[in-house]
Structure 1
């Protein structure tokens, strides 16, 4: 097997193919296992010894960020960077090896109770630096600050993962939780940057076809800068464990900025196109999650974890699902129209975000039931994606000029 992108089996011809499939399947597996473990643990007289080391809640957060999240980021970056710079895309043997590194990390974390901590750390930490080097090589073909920032994201996420393993290995104390919180906000910032590029652009492309009288999305450089800068500062505050009024203020500014951006993108005109409204809906969750975070730090009326779940499920989960469904169609020669079950999947993930974030406070006597329902909704949403898109991700692209009947 060589690395020529045009001489590969379809599954290894583009970075999005293996990593989007892994992301969909892992979204199902990780949450099904988590909710199943919680259910067994909640049964009187039943105790299940976990196969993973470390606090269970940290394992759950880590695998959703560095398992599911990094699979999506890998697929997106390996596909987007060649489009941005004209670089040769990663395919074949290098792509296979990178995918195996990701899989090795997942296996090590899942069975970390039976492995030396250094083996777990090396296996889990290997994937991101290798991805970062591959991405940087592509970015340097045509370097631009607006794109090089994604290498910085990968570097910062690597540092966050190191700090998590440092606590798990007893080198540090109280570094895992702030690193996990900061990592969620870094992913939210990636959603904001990518969303700011694609949501108005994709919406404009559709609305232009409706005629010259149709109002089009608008963007404002000053609003973009304020929105992104405040979210970046918020990630720094989380890493530094600064809570209360300072975080509430910055989160409030970020929420206002991102909701303001969204208000100019003509989301209400996309109701008949799930492939578009899913992007707007995910970005709405970004603003709502930041507003919830501001409320949590300012008043304590809402748990910080509820706000972070609104961001993680609604904004990050929703945007990744929307982008994966669109990119897989576009890069395999298919029309940019999703089937009805995928529109349902978008709604299920959005509902999972609302149930997990708000249900715990609205139904305090039914905490575990809320967790189970949210988990089922998430698993159903990504289960639909995996079932519908597995043939697309594994199979060949459609011919550019299909033969006539």
Structure 2
């Protein structure tokens, strides 16, 4: 019997009003996917036709910023605003507060795109408002729900927020913002290590249990804690000294440890369900990403290619995997991947591999193909899952007594 005196409230949102504003994953997954397509199309236009982007920021830095702090921050928001109510049993942010938060994010995208018109200082100020607002909401909900173990998730979010603030400060003072970009990317990767280490073996265990399998994924233990700690150390070294010998050594160790960690989760046993298999495949880019960091440190790979293995391979593929699964699950759809969904996964996996291959082989066509595959992957998500996000509503469930 529970001694919690708080009133029992429905887990979900009100049944009236537009479905889009009923849960955080709806506008942020849809908006993030649309911006993923639009921002990449603008970047390709800048490369091919010299389209001016970002004003004095320049097109390359604008592209990097909008992928890391524009697209990815939206998906992060959608995930947190949906997962935290499940962790705490509280109501989700919906209605006017959710609309306000989306408006802050959208204003940042417009400001950064129009930085050449309104000026970089104002654009930076508008853009910088979103992540602190998101972190404040997430912190409030976790603390109110007394879910102290989930505070570590906020550390990754704080690193991303600091990366964005540091990026703008470096640009406005004439400095180099690359270290701040790496810090933010590291924050996202740490979140994949923490959250992926929670959901991938859990979902796998549930799926195998339903089919009467005897062998299950190895549960979280001290080995996982050691892998996360070593990986965080390697990412910290990469952030401050990407070509240092210590970074190279730590990255190689982290690559081996994460490969071993992934092997403990029995990914091949779920190959019959792509919606679950893709999570294992996305995590497979974690050891590849650390190996790429080591290769770049040794001079065998361009640093930008190692960065893209992490941003596209680890972050974006994990996000697409979570977006598809969460959208289907929270709108009452079957948790199984359609051919369209599988095609979207394959497009993003191919995009992640094509970018470093372009540098290794000197084939510029692969770089263009990587961008086109990225657009195709998120475009397919919009076509298939957009109607679910806009219209499909599942009845709210009551919190357990």
Equivalent-residue separation in structure 1 for 2:356 and 2:185 (angstroms): 15
Q: Residues 99-178 of structure 1 correspond to what in structure 2 (within 5 A)?
A: 99-170=102-173, 173-174=175-176, 176-178=177-179
Q: Residues 5-404 of structure 1 correspond to what in structure 2 (within 5 A)?
A: 5-6=13-14, 7-41=16-50, 48-170=51-173, 173-174=175-176, 176-212=177-213, 214-241=214-241, 243-297=243-297, 299-362=298-361, 364=362, 366-367=363-364, 369-398=365-394
Equivalent-residue separation in structure 2 for 1:135 and 1:400 (angstroms): 21
Instruction: Give the superposition deviation at 1:216.
Output: 1.2
Instruction: Give the superposition deviation at 1:399.
Output: 5.8
- Detail structure 1 runs of 4+ shifted over 4 Å in the superposition: 398-401
Summarize deviations over 1:77-126 as a string: whole Å, max 9, x none: 00000100112210000000000000000001011011133311111000
Query: What root-mean-square deviation, in Å, do the aligned CA atoms of Structure 1 and Structure 2 show?
Result: 1.8
Equivalent-residue separation in structure 1 for 2:305 and 2:54 (angstroms): 27
Instruction: Give the superposition deviation at 1:326.
Output: 0.5
* Distance change in 2, residues 1:38/1:147 (3 Å): same
3-state SS, counterpart of residue 21 of structure 1: helix
Instruction: Give the superposition deviation at 1:146.
Output: 2.9
Instruction: Give the superposition deviation at 1:303.
Output: 1.6
Equivalent-residue separation in structure 1 for 2:127 and 2:117 (angstroms): 15
Aligned length: 385
Instruction: Give the superposition deviation at 1:51.
Output: 4.9
Equivalent-residue separation in structure 2 for 1:144 and 1:294 (angstroms): 36
Whether the aligned pair in 2 keeps the contact of 1:88 and 1:138 (CA below 8 Å) is no
3-state SS, counterpart of residue 5 of structure 1: coil
Summarize deviations over 1:240-299 as a string: whole Å, max 9, x none: 2353211111111211121111001111112111101110100001111111212221x2
Of structures 1 and 2, the one scoring higher in RCO (CA 8 A, sep 6+) is 2
Instruction: Give the superposition deviation at 1:9.
Output: 1.9
Whether the aligned pair in 2 keeps the contact of 1:105 and 1:123 (CA below 8 Å) is yes
Equivalent-residue separation in structure 1 for 2:390 and 2:168 (angstroms): 34
Residue segments in structure 1 that go unaligned for 5+ positions in a row: 42-47
Instruction: Give the superposition deviation at 1:61.
Output: 1.0
Equivalent-residue separation in structure 1 for 2:92 and 2:189 (angstroms): 26
Residue segments in structure 2 that go unaligned for 5+ positions in a row: 1-11
Equivalent-residue separation in structure 1 for 2:219 and 2:13 (angstroms): 36
Equivalent-residue separation in structure 2 for 1:154 and 1:138 (angstroms): 14
Q: Which residue of 2 aligns with 1:44?
A: none
Whether the aligned pair in 1 keeps the contact of 2:52 and 2:58 (CA below 8 Å) is no
Instruction: Give the superposition deviation at 1:397.
Output: 1.7
Whether the aligned pair in 2 keeps the contact of 1:185 and 1:231 (CA below 8 Å) is no
Whether the aligned pair in 2 keeps the contact of 1:251 and 1:294 (CA below 8 Å) is yes
Equivalent-residue separation in structure 1 for 2:148 and 2:228 (angstroms): 15
* Distance change in 2, residues 1:208/1:110 (3 Å): same
3-state SS, counterpart of residue 140 of structure 1: helix
